[in-house]
Amino acid sequence: MAEPAVSGHHDVTESVRITLAGHVQGVGFRPFVYRLAARLGIVGEVRNRLGEVDIVASGMPDVLRRFETQLVTEAPPLSRPVITRIEHIETRRDDEFCIAPSSSDADARIFVPPDYFMCDDCRRELQDPGDRRYRYPFINCTQCGPRYTLIESLPYDRHNTSMKAFPLCVDCEREYLDPADRRFHAEPVACPACGPQVTWEEPAAALQGDAAITAAIDALRADRIVAVKGIGGYHLMCDASRVEAVAELRRRKRRPDKPLAVMFPLDGADGLDAVRRYASLSDAEAELLASPARPIVLVNRRPDCALADNVAPGLREIGAFLPYSPLHQLLLEGFGGPLVATSGNISGEPVLTGNEEAALRLGPIADAFLHHDRPIVRPADDPVYRRIGGRMRPLRLGRGCAPAELTLSWRQPVPVLAVGGHMKGALALSWDDRVVVSPHIGEMDSPRSLAVFEQVAADLQGLYGVAAEKIVCDAHSGYTTHQWARRQDLPVETVWHHEGHASAVAAEFARPGQWLVFAWDGVGLGGDGTLWGGEALLGTAGDWRRVCSLRPFRLPGGERAGREPWRSAAALYWECGRPCADCPDEHGLAEFAWRNELNSPQTSAAGRLFDAAAAVICGQTHTSFEAQGPMQLESLAHSPRHPVYLSLMRGRNGVLSSDWEPLLEIIADRERSPQERSEIFHASLAQVIVQQACRVNYEHDIHQVGLCGGVFQNRLLAELAIEGLRRRGFDVYLPEQLPCNDAALCYGQAAHLAALSANPGN
C-alpha cells in the first residue's frame, strides 16, 4: 500500500518523471523527497527501483524547476544523488504525494550503501532517560546504522535485510510509516520491545540487555578480554592503558608485535578531546576521525601518551578511532577511557561474524562474549587511513567506506570479476564503465578467507544484478585467487602483478597521455619470471613497458625472507662479495643454498631492501607480521638527510637499474646513530625515484608520475619522492580512493582489461 501524504494543488499544469541515481538508497532519500514535495505543494509519487529513485511530480512549472534543483542541493547528508533523466509526461491528476511500493524491474545503476555511524540525533536519544530507546544498543534512523552488512538483496527494503526476523512493534511501525518522523522507512529500525538484543556469556553467567553491557564494562575494568559483536564483525577488547591486559591479549592471539587499534570515547564539542589527550591531530586527521566512515586513523602519539607502550611497540603512531555504533558508544561511555578494539579473528583471516563460530574460534582468546542476535550477512572490517603527502589515504577499505565505487575511462566489453592478489585480499566487479571494490577480506591463505572471498564474489554479483562473464587474476599461478579463478567455468585473463598496480593508479586519476609509474612493493611475479618489486613502468593502462628497476639479487629461502629479514640483508652482502655480520645462518645452510641457486629466486624488490636495512639498523632479524621491520625503520627517522648517490646502469633489454651497493656501508656504520642511518637510507631511495624519472623524462618526455605498491605506505619515502619529483616539474599521483597496496590490485586488473579491450592493438 502507498502511504498517503498531504493534499496538493489541483491546478496542475505540468507533470514530469525524474530519475535519480547515485547514493540514493539506504540514506533516507525517499522520505526526504516526500517532505520536499509536501512543502512545495507537489503531487505524485516516489518509488525505489533497483538502484534508482523514480519520481513522478506534478505542479506549476516554476515550482517543478525548484523541486528538481532542491532534490540535489538539499539532499540528506549521506546521499549523493544525480539526476539522470527528466522527461515530460502526460499530465496526471494526483491528489497527494506518496511513497509507492518498491520495484525491482529496472535495469539501473544500483548503489549498495556502506554501513554508517550513529548520528547525533540517535546519540542524544540513546542518552535520554525519557526516550523509549534509552540505552538501546541498536538505535538507528534513516541517517545512520548498518546497511551493507545486513542487506540480503535489493531493492533496499526491510524484508530484504537480516532485520526481517524482527517484526516491528506498534510504536516502531507508526514511526516507520510516518512521513514526519526521522525513522520514516528506516529499514533497520527497532526498539527494545521488538528488535535485536545483546547477551553476555561467560562460564559463570549469562545476562541480557543493559545488564549484559554493565557486565562487559566491569570485565574490561578487571583487565579481562571481551569479544564484542559489532556491525561488521567481532572486536577483541581490553583496557588500552594496562600493559598487562594488552600483553595477555597479545599472548592469547599470538600477535606479539603488530599494532592494535584503540577506540576512544566521544568527548568534547567535536568528539575528539579524548583522542587529543593521547595523540596529536592535524586538521585532516581530526576531520576524518569524526567523519561518517569512522575509520581507524594513524596519528602521532603525544610525548605524554598514557596508553600502554605495547599497544604499538616501537612505533610513533597509534591507530585511533571513535565509536561508530550505539553498542560501542555505551561501552566506551561506561568504561570512561580508551579500549583496544582489534579485529575479532584468527590473524590474517576475515573478521568473525557468527555467534557460535566466534565462541568456538575466539574462545581461547576471550574471557567472555558480548553477543547480539542481529545476523551479520557478510563481514566488514574497520578501514584504516594514514596522512601521506598532505592527504588522507586509505591503507585498508572496510566498514563505512566500502563497497567503493569508481568509474573507468573505458567500458568493459563483458562483466568481469577481478580477484586481486594473495595479500590484502579484495575483489572487484566491473561492468560498463563501473568498478565496485569490496571491503578488505584478509590474507588468502586460509579456508575461511577463501570461503568469505567466494561469498563476497557471489554477493556482489547478486546485489548489483550483474553476472560476471570473465575472470581476471594475477599471473602468479601459486596465488589462491589465481587457482580459484582457474577452477571456475568462465574464461580467465591474467595480469602481471605490477602492471595491475600501475593500471590502478593510472585509472584512478584518468589523466590522458603516457605515465611513468613506480611500482614498489614486497615481491610480485614479473614478466621475465623473476620476483619484481622495484620497478618503473612506462605507458598507459593495458600497455606497460618496464624501463627502470633496482639491481637484482637472489633471495635465500624465497618466501621465508618475508618473515626473516636477515635473509634479505645477507643476500645483499653476499651479492657484493662481502660477509654479513651477525648473520643468524649459523650452519651456513642459507649461504650454501644461495651460492648453489637452490630456492633462491632473483628479485628486484624495494620492499626487500627495506627489510634488509631494518635487519641491520634495527636488529630486526625475524618479524611476526608483514612490514614490521620497515615500519620500525621509518619510525626511527625524523628528518631527511643528504642521500647517498646510487649509480644508474643500463642492463638487459635496455632497462635502467639503480645500484644499492653503496648503502651497505651506510646501514652497517655503527659510528652513525640508527636514526641517521635510517634517514640516509630513506633519502637515498627517494633520490633513486627522482633520478630514474629524470632519465626517463629525458628519453621519453614524460611529465606525470604515479607511485603505487605497498612500499609507498611509508610516509617518509613517499613524501621525499613527491617533493623531489615536483621540484623537477613532474605531476605526481599517489592513490587517494583506494590503497596503494595489493588491495587495489583487483581494481587495477579490471582497469587493465577494460583499457586493453578498448585498445586491442596494445
Distances (CA, A) of 760 to 252, 319, 540, 688: 54, 45, 13, 34
Rounded Cα distance, 348 and 366, in Å: 18
Element (DSSP H or E) covering residue 534: strand 531-540
As a residue count, the chain comes to 762
For residues 289 and 384, is the Cβ–Cβ distance under 8 A? no
For residues 719 and 682, is the Cβ–Cβ distance under 8 A? no
Residue type at 501 in one-letter notation: H
For the entire predicted model, the pTM comes to 0.93
Distances (CA, A) of 506 to 474, 543, 672: 18, 11, 40
pLDDT digits (tens, 9 = 90+) for 229-287: 999 999 999 999 999 999 999 999 999 999 999 999 999 999 999 999 999 999 999 99
pLDDT digits (tens, 9 = 90+) for 328-372: 999 999 999 999 999 999 988 999 999 999 999 999 999 999 999
Mean pLDDT of the region 599-608: 97
Closest listed residue to residue 687, CA positions, set 716, 666, 651, 664: 716
- The pLDDT value given to residue 104: 59
Q: Please report, in angstroms and rounded to a whole number, the separation of the first and last CA atoms in the chain.
A: 56
- The pLDDT value given to residue 99: 86
- The pLDDT value given to residue 109: 67
- The pLDDT value given to residue 61: 94
pLDDT band at residue 127 using 50, 70 and 90 as cut-offs: very high
Mean pLDDT of the region 169-181: 92
Closest listed residue to residue 308, CA positions, set 268, 347, 337: 337
- The pLDDT value given to residue 7: 43
β-strand pairing of 553-554 with 543-550:
unpaired
- The pLDDT value given to residue 111: 81
Beta bridge partners of residue 369, listed in sequence order: 201, 227
Min mean pLDDT across 109-113, 132-136, 520-524 is at 109-113
Beta bridge partners of residue 550, listed in sequence order: 658
Report domain extents, the chain.
Answer: 14-99, 114-165+184-402, 501-751
Q: Dihedral sign, CA of 457, 462, 464, 470?
A: positive
pLDDT > 90: percent of the chain = 87
pLDDT digits (tens, 9 = 90+) for 683-730: 999 999 999 999 999 999 999 999 999 999 999 999 999 999 999 999
Give me the architecture of the 114-165+184-402 domain, per CATH. Alpha-Beta Complex (3.90)
If one looks up domain 14-99 in CATH, what number appears?
A: 3.30.70.100
pLDDT of 204 higher than 90: no
Rounded Cα distance, 98 and 47, in Å: 9
pLDDT digits (tens, 9 = 90+) for 78-110: 888 999 999 999 888 788 998 888 765 544 467
3-state secondary structure of 34: helix
- The pLDDT value given to residue 107: 46
My answer on whether omega of the bond before 350 falls inside 30° of 0, hence cis, is no
Mean pLDDT of the region 199-213: 94
pLDDT band at residue 762 using 50, 70 and 90 as cut-offs: low
Residue type at 741 in one-letter notation: N
∠306-312-315 over CA atoms, to 5°?
100
- The pLDDT value given to residue 639: 85
pLDDT band at residue 305 using 50, 70 and 90 as cut-offs: very high
Q: For the domain 501-751, what is the CATH superfamily, name and number?
A: ATPase, nucleotide binding domain (3.30.420.40)
